[in-house]
Structure formats: structure tokens, C-alpha cells
Structure 1
Amino acid sequence: MSGTAGQGSSTPKKWILLRAVEEAREPLGLKSTTLNVLRAMISFVGGDQITADQDDHHICFASNAAIAKRTHVSVQTVERHISTLVELGLIRRVMSANGKRWARRDRQGRVVTATGLSLMPLSERHPEFIQEAQRHADRVLEFTVLRDKVSAALARLRELVANDTAVSDLMTTVRNALRRKPDANVLCELLAEISVEISEITQTDTEKLRDSDNEIEGHKEDSLNPEVKKEKLSQIQVSPDQMERSFPRLCSELRFAKDQHHCDRLMDDIAEYLRLGQTWYAMKSTFGPAIRFIVLGYICQRAENIQSPGAYLISLLTKIEKGELSPSAMLTRTSNGS
């Protein structure tokens, strides 16, 4: 008797069991009407919990007409959705010889035995439904982040390209895909294509800038030449004290680097972990090691508040290239904890 009581006390309440099924409705393939029928059946079951200690605590013996009235649908609709719930293993039929649902009561009016539709699978499979709901939520979040990355990459590509027919076709394809509900594999392929285009355009622009720099007359003032400013950006140095003060997280990861080459490899590993994508590797042809360190450290310090690190990286680089955000400002912001 004590074992039964202990088991009942640890059983989730019936509406919590229903909530787990509702959160897993999409992977289970449940429609709203099916859930409404299940909700009505639960409301007919006595007690707060679905347990096997009494028949009326897990068996719904209400007629289809009564369920239909409570859900505001036809009897035929109720029959169809009950069959669906049985096929999915959410309920079980516990029928009498004549196929009817009924309940036998004692003199006090308490149900002694009953036949009908058992809701015990909701309790038995509750952990399974919770896990399925969590997996589904993770998939939805991952897909949302992927869409955000593609949208950010598309915006970045639009900024870099003026009138290039080949790239314009790609941008049109991406826009059409984002308007629908594309497959995750399709988005991954499109993101890879956009990243390659951005990398090639960025590298080409860098080479053009370098050629232009070589032609500039030596007596020109650097302050009047944006290309020279951009070249000097790649030569920025950061002192060890600044590194430790501004980016303690990244410094702790790089503390045992043997040399610059080893340090670069460790930074690449961190970038992979953060899923910064091809944009991180494209930076190597545009920015020096100090800028890469500052950008990676800046992202590491804010990692838990950034939903899409890849898109955030693209945004940072755009601001740096436009002169809207300077590396020294990034050092100051981080050390101030902003």
C-alpha cells in the first residue's frame, strides 16, 4: 500500500502529461483537433493524476457523443481522432465483450471497474515525450539560427556586390528560399555558396587595394588616403597587458600556445567551436593577427549573449571596414564590461 502511494505521489499531474504531448505535437504528427479530443478525454478522468490504482483514474468511459459535445465537433470526427491516438500509442482500448464503454460503481458511487479508453500511455511514455519535445525545440532553434546566418550573409553579399549577374542569381535564389520553409540542407548549401562569394570578393578587393596603394605617391598624407588607413589597420599591435585586461577568456585558451603558428591554430579551433564559418578564414587575407585576436576575443567575451556568432562576426567586420567601429574602441568596451 505504501509503495502504491509513493508511486502515485511521484506521478506528474495529468495536465502536465498533456503539456508534454502538446510540446511534442509536431514530431508526433498531431493535429489541433486530435489534441482537443485527447484534452476532453483527460477531463473526463477522475483525480489529478493518471494512475493504474483505480480504473477511473486512467480509463475514459465517456461516450463519443459526450466527447464530441465537449470538443464541439461531430461524433464521426471524434471516432477518427480516437483511432489516430490509438495508432500513435497515446491511448489504449480497454473494451468489454460487447465493445461498449461502461463503469460499475459501488454503493458510495465510486467507480469499481470500467472499460473504455485507457490514458496510461501518457504516463508511461511521459519521459519519452519530454525528450522528443526537447529534441524538437533544439532542431527549431538550430534551424532558426541557420536562417539568421543566411539572412546576414545575404545582406553582407548585397553590400559587397553592385551589378554582378551571376551573384544576383544566387541572391534571388536565397531570397526565394527564405520566403518559404526550406530544408536545412538547402540553407547550409546556400550559406556555403554565399560564404565563398564573400570570401572571393573580399580577397579580390584586397588585392585591388594593395595594387592601388603601390601607385600612390609617397608624399601624399596618410590621413587623406583611406586605402592606406585600411592597410595600417592590418598592422595594429596589441600589448600582452591589453590582451589580458580586455579578453581574459580568449587569453586563458591561448595561454599555452608555443608560438604564433600554434596560437593561430588554437584560434581557428575556437572559431570552429563558435561556428564563425568561412568568414573567419576569409579574415586572414584582409586583417592582421592583432585584429583577428581582437575580434575573436570580443565575441568570446559576449558568447552567451550572441544567438548567431557567424552573423555577428560579419556585422563586426562590416563596421570595422566602414570605420564605424575601431579596434581600440573594442578593447575599451570589453575592458569596461560593456
Structure 2
Amino acid sequence: MQSELVTTPFGRRPVTLALVKRQIATKIESGKSADKWKIFRDVSTARELLGLQDRSLAILDALLSFYPENELRQDAGLVVFPSNAQLTLRAHGIAGATLRRHLAFLVEAGLILRKDSANGKRYARKDRAGAIESAFGFDLSPLLMRSEELAQMAQQVAADRKAFKRAKENLTICRRDVRKLITAAIEEGADGDWEKIEAIYVELVGRIPRSPTPSDLGDLLDEMNMLQEEILNTLDLQQKAENNSTNDAHYERHIQNSDTESINELEPSSRTEQGAIPRERTNVQPKAFPLGMVLRACPEIAAYGPGGVVGSWRDLMAAAVTVRSMLGVSPSAYQEACDAMGPENAAATIACILERAGHINSAGGYLRDLTSKTKRDEFSLGPVLMALLRANGGSGQKTG
């Protein structure tokens, strides 16, 4: 009967419905067993998720030491009944008030249950053969029942720690790379607004907290990667300009040294004429930024995704089509942007325009202007996203 599973605490300690529900839910599969020290290690790893402190773990360790077997088994009595004095001794002399407080924490965390006797004492009643008939103290059944759950929690904590360490290393490496790239560009006189880029770098570094959370590291790493991408794009554009200048000079020398007796070479030819060699297009569609970064910079676009959610690039592009129509951007203007920027970056640009819609008079004209600049290698989406991420967009004069 379920009434046998529920006990109320002795004395002034009140009973709560949550405690009653927890006791009723403590049903262990027949024949189940688990190593008690393996469970303890999992609880120790997942202690922050369980809301436990080191002293709570010390008391749980002491309680487990009073259970005679290494295996917790469903078919065995799982109640231990040490006195407070015995618990204090095995918990390395912990004070009485602290002991009671952390025992309550273990109960609240759903790791143990109290099974109090009529007078509140902890003891076991044995039969004539010396076997325990009933015991009053602390029931370890929840540990056995939740052993798989506790193992999964420990694995998740370990995975999160590993990911946190990797993100910290990646941020350190990216920070180093950005610093050295800026220094090299300034020292070697590369074209670009390096003072502004360095100011952004200094601001990013200044935002790194002493004890960062995984979320802090993720956001900062995204922005630092974006800044690095912007630096590399700036340097790459300069290299392309130098290459084009060299190629044009070489082409002119080739014309001058060609056979002047050929009339066809002196006459201008059409690009579509048979045999004509078209000039190579230098504009290459830039790589798309991470979707998560775009959504953090432009959160308003999410409401226009399928079902009000944007979970993939396909969802973002679908949302961009809806927003494009809402902002009055013509299909041809958006298609031209897709051709020049790539569909992902065009959708991200629409998201940025939506975020700044109150500052833009003509969204269609603004998008066409950005498309033209993209074709001339004069527009990069990175600084726009970074500005939105930093929430530095003021209420300046309208654009477009």
C-alpha cells in the first residue's frame, strides 16, 4: 500500500506536499542495484545542479559509510540509523547545527528521505535471528532510484566544463591573433581604419569578466571572431586591389608589346563577342556569419519565422521574405541582394534593416545601396552586426 511509503517527520519539522509526492514517487525497479560510491561521485560532480555544498557532500559520504555493502540493492534495507554524534565524528567534526542544516539540504535535493520513529530516535529492530525487521533513520532509496539520472547530470556537467575550457582557449587564441593582426597592419601602414578597429578590440577585451560564464564566453568569442573576420576582409581587399593594379599594368604592357599589324586587336570588342575574354569578377560572396550571432544581434526577426521561431538558416530566409514584403522591399531588390551577398547574408541584412527600421526611410533603397557597395567590395556585414550586438545604435538621423 502507498500509505506504507509515506512518513512524516518527528517533532516540529513540518511536512510538505512536495515531500509527500517525493516519497510516493520513490519506487525502485525490481532487482535494481548500483555502486554507492559511483553514485556519490556522480552527486559530487553534479553538486551545483543539485544545489549542494561541500559540507552536504561530506555528510552524504558519512551516511553512505554506515551502509555495510558497496552495492545499494532494491531487495535490501536501505535505511541507515547513525546518531548525530556518530555522523559528526565521520563528517570530520562538523558542528551540530551545521549537520542538521545540511541533512535538510540533502532531503530537499531529493537524495535521502527521513524515516523517523515515534520518539525521533534512530535505531533498528531485529528479529531473533539478528536480521533487521525495521529501521528508523535516513532512507537511501532515492539515491538508488535516481542513479541513472544522477549519472546523466554528472556527464552533462563534465561536458559543459570541457566546452567551457575549449571556449576559453579559443577566446585566448582569437584575442591573440586579433591583437597581432592589428599591430602588424598599423606598423606596416596597411589601408584601413585601424584606430577604430583597435578601439573595438580594447572594448571587447574590457568586457571579459574575471569569472566568465559559458554564455559570456560564447558572446565574446562570437564578437572577437567577427572582428578577426573584418580585419582579414580588410587586408584581403587591399591585397586584391594591389593584385588588380599589378594585373592592369601587366595587361597594358601586353597591349603595347602586341603585334600592331592586327586590326582586330586595336578595335574594341564586345564582351559577348565570340572569342572575347571577360574580365574576372573580383567580388566573391562573403562567408555567412554564425546564425546564433545574427539572432542575438537582430532578435526581432525571430517573430517572423515559421511558428514564431527561427531555428535554422532556412527559417531565417523564410522570415526575411516576410519582412522584405512588410518593409516594402521589392522582390527584384531582394533577389539582387541575394545574388551579390549570398542568400544567408542577404537574409541577415534584412534582419539588420528590421532592427533599425525606425532609422531608415526607404528600406528598399537602402538595400539596393548596400547591394551596390557589396558589388564594389565596399560593404561588410560584420561591423553592422557588431554594432547591433554592442547595442550602440543611437537615435541618429534617418538613413536612405
Q: TM-score, normalised by structure 2?
A: 0.49
Matches within 5 A, 1:154-169: 154-162=175-183, 164-169=194-199
Alignment of 1:67-216 (within 5 A): 67-72=87-92, 73-162=94-183, 164-176=194-206, 178=208, 180-214=210-244
Give the 3 Å change call, closer, same or farther, for CA 13–214 of structure 1 in structure 2. closer
C-alpha contact (below 8 Å) 2:208/2:220 kept by paired residues: no
Show the 5 A alignment for 1:1-338.
Answer: 7-8=30-31, 10-55=32-77, 58-72=78-92, 73-162=94-183, 164-176=194-206, 178=208, 180-214=210-244
In 2, Cα distance between equivalents of 1:13 and 1:194: 46
Q: What SS does the corresponding residue of 1:116 show, helix, strand or coil?
A: strand
> Shift of residue 137 of structure 1?
1.9
Q: Residues of 2 paired with 1:115 and 1:212: CA distance?
A: 85
* Aligned-partner Cα distance in 1 for 2:123–2:203: 60
Report the Cα offset of residue 119 of structure 1.
0.6
> Which digits, 9 at most, give the CA deviation of each residue in 1:80-135, with x for residues without a partner?
11000001110001111222211112344432211011011000011111111122
Structure with greater helix percent: 1
Other structure's SS at 1:89 match: coil
Does structure 1 retain, via aligned residues, the 8 Å contact 2:124–2:135? yes
Kindly provide the amino acid, as one letter, of the partner of residue 102 in structure 1.
Answer: Y
Q: Does the CA contact (< 8 Å) of 2:181 and 2:231 recur in 1?
A: yes
Shift, 1:176, TM fit: 4.8
RMSD: 3.1
- TM superposition shift of 1:215: 5.0
AA in 2 matched with 1:186: D
Structure 1 residues 214 and 124: CA distance shift in structure 2, 3 A: closer
Cα offset, 1:178, TM superposition: 4.8
Aligned length: 218
Unaligned 5+ segments in structure 1 are 1-5, 219-263, 273-338
Q: State how far apart, in whole Å, the 1-side matches of 2:153 and 2:59 are.
A: 21
> What is the alpha-carbon distance in structure 1 between the residues aligned to residue 204 and residue 131 of structure 2?
64
Seen in structure 2, the aligned counterparts of structure 1 residues 111 and 117 have a Cα distance that, compared at 3 Å, is same
Q: Secondary structure at the match of 2:73?
A: coil
Matches of 1:199 and 1:147 in 2, distance apart? 19
Q: Hey, what's the Cα distance between the residues in 2 that align with 1:174 and 1:187?
A: 11
2: CA distance between counterparts of 1:202 and 1:21? 47
In the alignment, which residue of structure 1 is the partner of 2:260? none
* SS in structure 2 of the partner of residue 50 of structure 1: strand
CA distance in 2, matches of 1:207, 1:48: 67
CA contact (8 A) 1:93 1:118 kept: yes
In structure 2, the CA distance between the partners of 1:210 and 1:46, relative to structure 1 (3 Å rule), is: closer
Q: In 1, distance between residues paired with 2:111 and 2:86?
A: 20
Report % sequence identity.
Answer: 31
SS at match of 1:161: helix
TM-score normalised over the length of structure 1: 0.57
Displacement after TM superposition at 1:173 (Å): 4.4
Looking at structure 2, the residues matched to 214 and 90 of structure 1 have their Cα atoms a distance apart, in angstroms, of 70
1:16 maps to amino acid: K
Distance (whole Å) between structure 2 residues aligned to residue 47 and residue 194 of structure 1: 54
Whether contact under 8 Å (2:170, 2:221) holds in the other structure is yes
Q: Is the 8 A contact 1:154 1:174 kept in 2?
A: no
1:155-180: CA deviation from partner (whole Å, max 9, x where unpaired): 11112102644434443444455562
Shift of 1:76: 1.5
| Displacement after TM superposition at 1:206 (Å) | 2.2
> RCO (CA 8 Å, sep 6+): is it higher in 1 or 2?
1
**Does the 8 Å contact 1:91/1:117 carry over to 2?**
yes
Deviations 1:126-151 (A, max 9, x none): 11111111222222222222222222
